[in-house]
Amino acid sequence: MTPEWANETDLYAIADLVRGVSYRRPDLVEDETEGIPLLRATNIGEGTLTFDDVLYVPESHVKAEQLLQRFDTVIAMSSGSRKAVGRLAQLRTDWRGCVGAFCGIIRPNSHKVHPPYLSYVLRSHEYRMHIDSHAVGTAIMNLSKDRVLSYSLRLPPPDKQRSIAAILGSLDDKIEQNRRTSRALERLARAIFRAWFVDFEPVKAKAAGATAFPSMPQPIFDALPTRFVDSAIDPVPEGWEVKALAEIATFLNGLALQKYPPRDDGEDLRVIKIAELRKGSTDDADLANSDVPAEYVIVDCDLLFSWSGTLEAKFWFGGKGALNQHLFKVTSSHFPRWFCLLWIRQHLPWFRAIAASKATTMGHIKREHLQEAQVVVPPAAVIREADHTLGPLHDLHVQLMIESRKLAAMRDYLQPKLLSGQVRAEAAHG
């Protein structure tokens, strides 16, 4: 359905594309004080940008037109995956950065189109189909500037553009606010965990004569010992145990789900692979039939750990799915989920180093490494008290992430209806 009030145009007339730049690895730095953040194709999610694992480009290497501007849309111009090429997301805030060689910047002309509105056009199913039909290549799929911009669209009047963008943008803004809060909660939980269970700062303070510790509730502090004892690793608080990571949780490896081909009966499950774990959703995922054993069915808040390829550990919030091989589902009957997650993350740098040392294209770790990874376990009373502090942080994180998924579903439902004119923006405001 095409709105009668829209005028036909094309992307060439209302936007430009700035290609990313190939920077030599020796020219990049890891210190944010020494350069400008560089976004790569891996930082482009489904309609969102992530700012994890960025490198930095010395400012002298970046031209002014290559600096990202508010309302620019970053697009993946090259990828080994047809699903990933053309993935894009708009920068909705002022953020000083640039993009790498396999990316591009679609920069709207604000005199000809309302930039936030154009972002939603670019995220439409129709534009996705345009990209799919214009990406070329075999092992590596590529897009050119001409292919990205050779898209015809119907452009409504400016007031309707602003109304549509305001409705969809309010949902995106709430999603982004939730994500920022969730990231802050995660950082706080990691900091508390490391201080209490890795660096033993409260125990050290108590051993030195302190009667309280600033970030620790008094009941936990009162339960702490006042001395350290030797262990298989380093000295640990008296009464605390050193165990293998494999002893505190069960690591269930996923299945080769091609053995469960979809039946298209309405009961099929989305397949959760490494790529799905990274992006946090099962959009465009493969399907498996519902005969997958119950223990391999994943639901919100399950803890997943990819032990091959890109090693990640996180809680899943992408809805119901089936666990593919190369992923562990991590459960424990004795320890809180946050305790298991944060100990896995504590060992991730070592696990990643092991995987990177493999001669294969898909580096991985083995179960023996889960046995070699050591964790320090306090008495049950300390764990219970700690759960009163870290548990609510985890619970709020869960609440925010699930709410964000529901908001994204509402946005995705409204977007095509608003863009097509099937639902008028004025009515949607009411």
Does one domain contain both 13 and 120? Answer: yes
Does one domain contain both 11 and 149? Answer: yes
Average model confidence (pLDDT) across the chain: 89
Distance CA 402, CA 398 (A): 6
At 430 the pLDDT is: 41
Distance CA 424, CA 160 (A): 9
Does one domain contain both 123 and 260? Answer: no
Where does residue 223 rank: exposed (0-12), middle (13-18), buried (19+ CB within 10 A)?
Answer: middle
DSSP 8-state symbol, 123: T
Let me know if residue 100 belongs to a domain.
yes
Residue at which a domain ends, from 107, 132, 154? 154
Let me know if residue 210 belongs to a domain.
no
**What are the distances in angstroms from CA 322 to CA 73, 265, 275, 362, 406?**
32, 16, 13, 21, 20
Does one domain contain both 149 and 275? Answer: no
Domain extent, residue 292, equals: 246-377
- 187 in helix, strand or coil? helix
Report whether 336 contacts 234 (CB < 8 A): no
Q: Are strands 228-229 and 236-237 parallel, antiparallel or unpaired?
A: antiparallel
Closest CA to 392 of 175, 192, 251, 180: 192
Torsional sign, CA 84, 183, 367, 301: negative
- Structural domain total, the chain: 2
Let me know if residue 322 belongs to a domain.
yes
Let me know if residue 308 belongs to a domain.
yes
Does one domain contain both 40 and 142? Answer: yes
Let me know if residue 216 belongs to a domain.
no
Where does residue 202 rank: exposed (0-12), middle (13-18), buried (19+ CB within 10 A)?
Answer: buried
Let me know if residue 201 belongs to a domain.
no
Q: Which CATH number goes with the domain that contains 104? A: 3.90.220.20
- 273 in helix, strand or coil? coil
Does one domain contain both 147 and 11? Answer: yes
Distance CA 380, CA 309 (A): 35
Sequence-separated (6 or more) residues with CB below 8 Å from residue 288: 257, 260, 261, 262, 268, 269, 271, 322
Residue at which a domain ends, from 134, 154, 174? 154
Does one domain contain both 274 and 143? Answer: no
Q: Which two tokens stand for residue 367?
A: 């179960």
Does one domain contain both 365 and 254? Answer: yes
Q: Are strands 36-39 and 98-99 parallel, antiparallel or unpaired?
A: parallel
pLDDT tens string for the chain (430 positions)? 455 566 889 999 999 999 988 887 777 777 667 788 888 888 887 777 877 677 888 888 888 888 999 889 999 998 877 778 888 888 888 888 889 888 999 999 999 999 999 999 999 999 999 988 888 887 888 899 999 999 999 899 999 999 999 999 999 999 989 988 998 999 999 999 999 999 999 999 999 999 999 888 898 898 899 999 998 888 999 999 999 999 999 999 999 999 999 999 999 999 999 988 988 888 878 999 999 999 999 999 999 999 998 799 999 999 999 999 999 999 999 999 999 999 999 999 999 999 888 756 678 899 999 999 999 999 998 998 899 999 999 999 999 999 999 999 999 999 999 998 888 776 444 4
Let me know if residue 160 belongs to a domain.
no
Number of H helices, E strands in the chain: 13, 23
Residue at which a domain ends, from 138, 154, 170? 154
> Measured over all CA atoms, what is the biggest interatomic distance in the chain, rounded to whole angstroms?
78
Distance CA 119, CA 130 (A): 15
Distance CA 399, CA 178 (A): 9
pLDDT digits (tens, 9 = 90+) for 231-274: 888 899 999 999 999 999 999 999 999 999 999 999 999 999 99
- 127 in helix, strand or coil? helix
Let me know if residue 297 belongs to a domain.
yes
Q: What pTM does this model have?
A: 0.82
Provide the CA 258 distance to its chain's centre, in angstroms. Answer: 26
